[in-house]
C-alpha cells in the first residue's frame, strides 16, 4: 500500500510503500508519549525504506532519544533516528540503521486513509503514564515491554500482510540462527559465522528481546566467551569479554568498562519469524 504523509505546516511531504500499514501497535513509552503521543501513546507503521521519497527534506530534523535503563549510571543516545519537521515539530518517521531495509512512518503523519486494525497490541506498558487509560478490545494483547511479535508477524498472523519485493528479497538473503526457545530468557548462545567468515555470532535474550552481535571484541578482535555460550556475567546484566574483562551493555553492545570503553560490539539486525531467530546471511562476513 502506498502511504502519503506530511507534517502539519506542509513543508515536508513524503510517500513510501508499506506492506504492513495497519495502525495496530500502541506504544506507551515515555519517548513516544512525549515526542508524538499526546494521548498517551504513539503508533508506528512498517514500510520499505528503499521506497521512501521526501520533498522538503531540508526542513527535516533528526532526534536521537536519550535512554536510561534501570541500572545505567548515565543516559545514552538511542541509535534510532526520529525524523521531525523542523518548522512545525510534527513527528514524521523513525529509521534505525540496525534494520536498514525498514522505515517506520508515524501513523499520525499519514494522510492516506489507513485500514482499521481488527485488534491492537499495547506495548511498553511498564512506562505508561498513570493518567493514560488503556482502551483494549477483547482480542488485544498487552506487553510490559517489547513484544516478540514484529509488525510484519502481526500482519502475517492476521492474514493482512501485502506481499512485496522487499520481503521476497529479504527472505532470500537471510539465515536462520536457531529457534527462539533455544536461547533461554536472560541467557546467551553462540553460533559459527557464515561460510567464509573468521568470526562467529552470539545472541542474548533479555526482557523479551533478542540481541545479536558479531563475536569479536572491539579491543583487539578476540572472541568473547571463555566457554561455549558463556557471554554474560554471573548476574546476567552485561556481556563480558573474557580476554581483558571489557563489559558491554546487552541492549546496544556499548562497552561501559574495560580497555575499549565507549566502543561497541558490531550489532546484527535480527527478527523473530514464526519462532525462528533470523539474521542477514552476510552477518559476520
State the Cα–Cα distance between residues 285 and 173, nearest whole angstrom: 13
Minimum distance, C-beta of residue 270 to ligand FES, in the bound complex (Å):
22
Q: How far apart are CA 158 and CA 176, in angstroms?
A: 23
Q: Choose which of 259, 264, 266, 271 interacts with ligand FES (CB under 6 A).
A: 259
Alpha carbons 87 and 91: distance in angstroms, whole number: 11
Nearer Cβ to ligand FES (10/226): 226
> What part of residues 226-255 is at the interface with ligand FES (CB under 6 A)?
241, 243-244, 246
User: Could you say whether residue 199 binds ligand FES (CB under 6 A)?
Assistant: no
User: Which residue, chain included where needed, has cell 559476520?
Assistant: 284
Enter the DSSP assignment of 44: B
Least distance to ligand FES, CB of residue 213, Å: 13
DSSP for residue 57: G
Radius of gyration of the chain (CA): 20
Sheet holding 2-6, edge to edge: 2-6, 13-17, 53-55
Helix H or strand E segment including 63:
strand 60-63
Shortest Cβ distance from residue 184 to ligand FES (Å)? Answer: 24
Tell the smallest beta-carbon distance from residue 63 to ligand FES (Å): 33
The count of C-alpha atoms lying within 13 angstroms of the C-alpha of 282, restricted to the half-sphere facing its C-beta, is: 3
x/- map, 159-198, ligand FES, by CB under 6 A: ----------------------------------------
Among 88, 220, 226, 233, binds ligand FES (CB under 6 A): 220
**Which residue, 64 or 244, is less far from ligand FES as judged by CB?**
244
DSSP run (H or E) holding 32 = helix 30-36
Nearer to ligand FES, 109 or 239 (CB): 239
Residue closer to ligand FES, measured from CB, 119 or 263: 263
> 100 vs 226, which CB is nearer to ligand FES?
226
Query: What span, in angstroms and rounded, lies between the C-alpha atoms of 285 and 282?
Result: 6
- C-alpha cell recorded at residue 244: 581483558
3-class DSSP state of 273: strand
Return the residue of 258, 267, 272, 277 that touches ligand FES, per CB under 6 A: 258
Nearer to ligand FES, 226 or 275 (CB): 226
Residues that bind ligand FES (CB under 6 A): 217, 219-220, 222, 241, 243-244, 246, 258-259
Amino acid at each position: 500500500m502506498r502511504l502519503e504523509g506530511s507534517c502539519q505546516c506542509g513543508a515536508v511531504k513524503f510517500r513510501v510503500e508499506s506492506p504492513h500499514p495497519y495502525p495496530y501497535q500502541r506504544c506507551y513509552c515515555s519517548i513516544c508519549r512525549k515526542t508524538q503521543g499526546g494521548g498517551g501513546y504513539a503508533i508506528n507503521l512498517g514500510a520499505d525504506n528503499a521506497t521512501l521519497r521526501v520533498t522538503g527534506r531540508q526542513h527535516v530534523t533528526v532526534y536521537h532519544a536519550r535512554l536510561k535503563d534501570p541500572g545505567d549510571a548515565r543516559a545514552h543516545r538511542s541509535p534510532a533516528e526520529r525524523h521531525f519537521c523542523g518548522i512545525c515539530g510534527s513527528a514524521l518517521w523513525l529509521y534505525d540503521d540496525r534494520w536498514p531495509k525498514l522505515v517506520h512512518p508515524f501513523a499520525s503523519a499519514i494522510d492516506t486513509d489507513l485500514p482499521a486494525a481488527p485488534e491492537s497490541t499495547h506495548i511498553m506498558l511498564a512506562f505508561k503514564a498513570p493518567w493514560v487509560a488503556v482502551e483494549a478490545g477483547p482480542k488485544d494483547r498487552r506487553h510490559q515491554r517489547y513484544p516478540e511479535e514484529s509488525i510484519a508477524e502481526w500482519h502475517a498472523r492476521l492474514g493482512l500482510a501485502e506481499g512485496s519485493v522487499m520481503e521476497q528479497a529479504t527472505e532470500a538473503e537471510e539465515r536462520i540462527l536457531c529457534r527462539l526457545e533455544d536461547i533461554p530468557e536472560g541467557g546467551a548462545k553462540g553460533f559459527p559465522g557464515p561460510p567464509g567468515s573468521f568470526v562467529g555470532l552470539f545472541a542474548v535474550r533479555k526482557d523479551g528481546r533478542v540481541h545479536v552481535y558479531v563475536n569479536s571484541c572491539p579491543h583487539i578482535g578476540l572472541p568473547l566467551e571463555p566457554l561455549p555460550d558463556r557471554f554474560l556475567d554471573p548476574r546476567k546484566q552485561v556481556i563480558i569479554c573474557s580476554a581483558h574483562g571489557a563489559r558491554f551493555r546487552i541492549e546496544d553492545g556499548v562497552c561501559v568498562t574495560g580497555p575499549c570503553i565507549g566502543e561497541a560490539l558490531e550489532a546484527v539486525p535480527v527478527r523473530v519469524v514464526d519462532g525462528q531467530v533470523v539474521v542477514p546471511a552476510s552477518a559476520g562476513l
